[in-house]
Amino acid sequence: MFPKPLLLSSVLLACLGLSEALAGERTARITLMALGDNRVANLDALPHRYDLMIASADVKPEVLTAFRQRNPSALVFCYVNTSDINADSVKYPYFARIWNDTNPHEDWFHHDATGARVKIYYPKYKNRCAFHTGKPGLQQYLAGLVVETLKTGRYDGIQLDNVSTEFPFRPELVGKWISATPVNLVAAQWTADEVAMLKAIMKAVADAGLKEKKVIFNHMRSGEPQESRAYVEVADGANCESWMSLRTGLEGRWGWKAKVEQAREVNRKGKLTNLLCRTDAPSEDEALFCFASYLMAKEGDDAYFFYAPGYKMANQRTWYPFYDADLGEPKGDREVRDGGFLRLFRRGCVGVNPTDKPVTLSLPQTYITLAGQEIAKLSLPPRRGAVLLAPAKDGGAPGKDN
């Protein structure tokens, strides 16, 4: 049997001499999602430190201000949907404006063979009308919306939602995701339209003198590497939803290797990644597996991580102590070792077993687990991860340069 990792209280961490190693600087960059109705009271329930917030446009300015006061070095991005407009959302002023602006332009929407507008997220939503992102007029409208949002001064960047690398209008999705297939639209044209839209938005941002702002899209996927690369080349980075879970296997287009390598590749291009691991049943084991996998992929300071059951602040109250580990800079890339993967950092290391068999990794030196145990080998059950700290020197704190 493998011992279950411990979530340690701050008192216990202090007794073990580990609290100093889990305070101050940290290796990870953690994202707070704030989509939908999020208020200052929701933020008050989250005493931890974040590095990036992605907020709906209707999140009140006082929430953004309070977040910046508590996280002065963090970035704040605004969520902008580019794929559709829901006629049933006109009760909200922000969406009412977009509906009123776009609805008169029939050519800005996709249509089926009968001439009806194609609906997406269907049948859950009956009136989400799909934008035709290849239309220059719509591209300029969306670009103007992005520039206007950035000029408010409230945001450091934009997250464009539903810029899908997957072709979302396949015939087999009729009645399950879409109301019908659009006329004269194939996968290659969809990708070209999305790239053209991204280019129009990026150009408008640059022309407005806002090149220091970042524009990322949601979302890249390892199963569509070519499409993802085409989008990433244009934008400043990408979200990746459903990035990792305990169901993720090792191999294949959607496997652990492909997901980690894609994130690493994007970071190495100097682009931002925001790896979103949303789950219906959060657990410490899964959180640590996903987090350790993120550290395997992370290159530079523009790699962000999220793990929670939802995108409202109320869903993100659980904070795992390993988020705060200060491992320092990586000493190199991940390496295959004893059937698993190991990556060394200046003040610790990370181990991951993404296989369906238990492994025991030999370590190049002794390390300290977050439970305070000194080990020379790391035993991991299938689909598990671990964060280890370098041992103390001369009475210093574990994980620190002593």
Could you say which of 290, 324, 358 is where a domain stops?
324
Which pLDDT tens digits describe the chain residue by residue (402 residues)?
443 444 444 433 433 445 455 556 899 999 999 999 999 999 999 999 999 999 999 999 999 999 999 999 999 999 999 999 999 999 999 999 999 999 999 999 999 999 999 999 999 999 999 999 999 999 999 999 999 999 999 999 999 999 999 999 999 999 999 999 999 999 999 999 999 999 999 999 999 999 999 999 999 999 999 999 999 999 999 999 999 999 999 999 999 999 999 999 999 999 999 999 999 999 999 999 999 999 999 999 999 999 999 999 999 999 999 999 999 999 999 999 999 999 999 999 999 999 999 999 999 999 999 999 999 999 999 999 999 999 977 434 565 553
Could you say which of 257, 292, 324 is where a domain stops?
324
pTM of the model: 0.92
- Domain that residue 336 falls in: 1-25+327-402
- Say how many domains are in the chain: 2
Question: One-letter amino acid identity for 27?
Answer: T
If asked whether residues 242 and 342 sit together in one domain, one would say: no
If asked whether residues 44 and 154 sit together in one domain, one would say: yes
Could you say which of 324, 344, 364 is where a domain stops?
324
At 382, which CATH number?
Answer: 2.60.40.1180
Residue 251 corresponds to which tokens in the numbers above?
């191999």
* Residue 3, pLDDT score: 39
If asked whether residues 212 and 292 sit together in one domain, one would say: yes
Residue among 290, 287, 265, 266 at smallest CA distance from 354: 290
207: exposed, middle or buried (C-beta count within 10 Å: 0-12, 13-18, 19+)? Answer: exposed
Residue 70 corresponds to which tokens in the numbers above?
């508590």
If asked whether residues 306 and 249 sit together in one domain, one would say: yes
The CA distance from 299 to 208, in Å, is 30
If asked whether residues 34 and 84 sit together in one domain, one would say: yes
Q: Is the dihedral of CA 190, 222, 51, 288 positive or negative?
A: positive
Residues 6+ apart with CB under 8 A from 192: 134
* Residue 5, pLDDT score: 40
If asked whether residues 210 and 239 sit together in one domain, one would say: yes
In this structure, the strands spanning 128-130 and 84-86 are antiparallel
If asked whether residues 49 and 101 sit together in one domain, one would say: yes
If asked whether residues 128 and 16 sit together in one domain, one would say: no
If asked whether residues 320 and 350 sit together in one domain, one would say: no
CB atoms within 10 A of CB 310: 15
If asked whether residues 95 and 171 sit together in one domain, one would say: yes
If asked whether residues 151 and 50 sit together in one domain, one would say: yes
At 109, which CATH number?
Answer: 3.20.20.70
If asked whether residues 109 and 254 sit together in one domain, one would say: yes
- Beta carbons of 252 and 348 less than 8 angstroms apart: no
The CA distance from 290 to 370, in Å, is 17
